[in-house]
Structure 1
């Protein structure tokens, strides 16, 4: 594995499944296991599959100028994104050039979470925050477990009241197996799916319970 400076609390579980944990955005990430990758692909298309995508970078933005910062750093009209709604966006530098992609989660009137990839999204947010009444917090304890596939909602419905009513690109604060989580109806697989944002200390139990 390439040297990484960020770590998933699920790393040992990934190794036990045969992953070599290749570097992604500074975190050792399980791209493959010992199992046939085609089988896992078919599972996501026909049933469901679980992925650890905690390598995505999570930044919390709060304060009176939080929405203005989002407006400066991304291509989205923040006025159309209300608390509980999410949106996919491009991130731009001062020259207006693409530097990263992200999903914006509005968690309150003056609070957001930005989940971005391996580009310079964090740097763009820091640049846009200069001189403004806003706080940025990089959160690597927050893990992102992506449960994707047509039967994902059926599984979650057994444990999370109201999950069937959660619209596409919306999110909710709730509990899963007694742990506090934010569940978002988002993902990059092309199938109906959900991202489960949880604390690092809870990620192992949540992962194990879903796989059981």
Structure 2
């Protein structure tokens, strides 16, 4: 991608002012880290609060009288029964039962508010437009999206919008935020308490600067966002889930409510319901390398008798965990916690074990 084609978020100039190191990500110029560095930013989020620019994500409004029921034809989650002001994690599935993308759907009352991954917007938005019969699908291109994550997130945000303190995990509302109407949702991608705030793009820099006046809040880039989500055991689309992996293999059964499991009626239901009943042949698991060397994506997982049983999909150093952490798929008979395995790293077999996730306790406000 040429430099002239790379898109910039409304906060690009602020990132430069704050000394960010910028990289191309999903066609956008995004901060990978600031002068504090990835390790410092990671700890700041875990201990205080972090400000992430996630404006590259696609924000979409779906209108129409039967919008929730129509949406259920594309996902295996309960959208028709989602109360007003609630958000739900779900995923588009394909006819083979694979995951096309994961997303957040919120019931905003008169419409559904949908946030999909930046790299998948050119697939997801046409997918919705072509399949949500009787619905209007509108991408919101004039709003930024900021995430404030960490134990101090509530104090940082509620100072300017007191009602935000009353939101629980996966709840959403529109409020007056520093003089402009914003949608605040209590959710995130770090395992910590926090919010995502959809802000008119012309107000985004002003609001971000005011928020950053709080000594508990620091700007944090994509580098720490990845180490935070990995410690929290959260899937990254394109690594841990993709169009070939099923929700059951990815151990996302919790995102498919009982009614949908019983009724089906979504793409790939035959495979998914069969795997729910009989179990999948492989599962996504936490993997802890027992040395200091991290296991990166693509590393082969090997049984103790030397048989190839799977592959690492995400891996790196966990700053809070204080050691290497990884996610990967292994044959189901090896997926139990405390199973000893080996990792084939640069021709050497290194010891590891299967562990429960998350690696670091999640701190959502239930």
Whether these two folds match at TM > 0.5 is yes
Partner of 2:29: 28
1:28-54 superposed Cα distances (whole Å, 9 cap, x missing partner) = 211212322111111100000101001
How much is the aligned-residue C-alpha RMSD, in angstroms?
1.7
> What CA distance in whole angstroms lies between the structure 2 residues aligned with 1:65 and 1:106?
13
1:131-182 superposed Cα distances (whole Å, 9 cap, x missing partner) = x211011112111100000011012222212222111100011011111111
Structure showing greater radius of gyration is 2
> What CA distance in whole angstroms lies between the structure 1 residues aligned with 2:210 and 2:15?
15
For residues 158-173 of structure 1, the aligned pairs below 5 Å read 158-173=159-174
Aligned length: 209
Residues 47-56 or 116-125, more deviating: 116-125
Residues 117-126 or 137-146, more deviating: 117-126
* Residue ranges of structure 1 left out of the alignment (5+ in a row): none
The question of whether the paired residues in 1 share the 8 Å contact of 2:143 and 2:201 is answered with yes
Partner of 2:42: 41
- Residue 192 of structure 1 pairs with residue 200 of structure 2: no
The question of whether the paired residues in 2 share the 8 Å contact of 1:48 and 1:149 is answered with yes
Cα deviation, residue 2, structure 1: 5.4
> What CA distance in whole angstroms lies between the structure 2 residues aligned with 1:20 and 1:150?
26
Distance 1:2-1:80 versus aligned 2 partners, 3 A rule? farther
For residues 88-167 of structure 1, the aligned pairs below 5 Å read 88-109=89-110, 111-117=111-117, 118-119=119-120, 120-129=123-132, 132-167=133-168
Partner of 2:341: none
Distance 1:135-1:94 versus aligned 2 partners, 3 A rule? farther
> What CA distance in whole angstroms lies between the structure 2 residues aligned with 1:171 and 1:68?
20
Q: Which runs of 4+ in 1 moved over 6 A?
A: none
* Residue ranges of structure 2 left out of the alignment (5+ in a row): 214-366
Residues 16-25 or 93-102, more deviating: 16-25
Partner of 2:204: 203
The question of whether the paired residues in 1 share the 8 Å contact of 2:49 and 2:148 is answered with yes
> What CA distance in whole angstroms lies between the structure 1 residues aligned with 2:81 and 2:201?
32
Cα deviation, residue 17, structure 1: 2.4
Cα deviation, residue 20, structure 1: 4.2
SS of aligned partner of 1:73: coil
> What CA distance in whole angstroms lies between the structure 1 residues aligned with 2:199 and 2:86?
18
Residues 2-11 or 69-78, more deviating: 2-11
SS of aligned partner of 2:73: helix
> What CA distance in whole angstroms lies between the structure 2 residues aligned with 1:70 and 1:29?
31
1:45-73 superposed Cα distances (whole Å, 9 cap, x missing partner) = 00001010011111111011311331122
Cα deviation, residue 192, structure 1: 0.4
Cα deviation, residue 75, structure 1: 2.2
Provide TM-score, normalisation by structure 2.
0.54
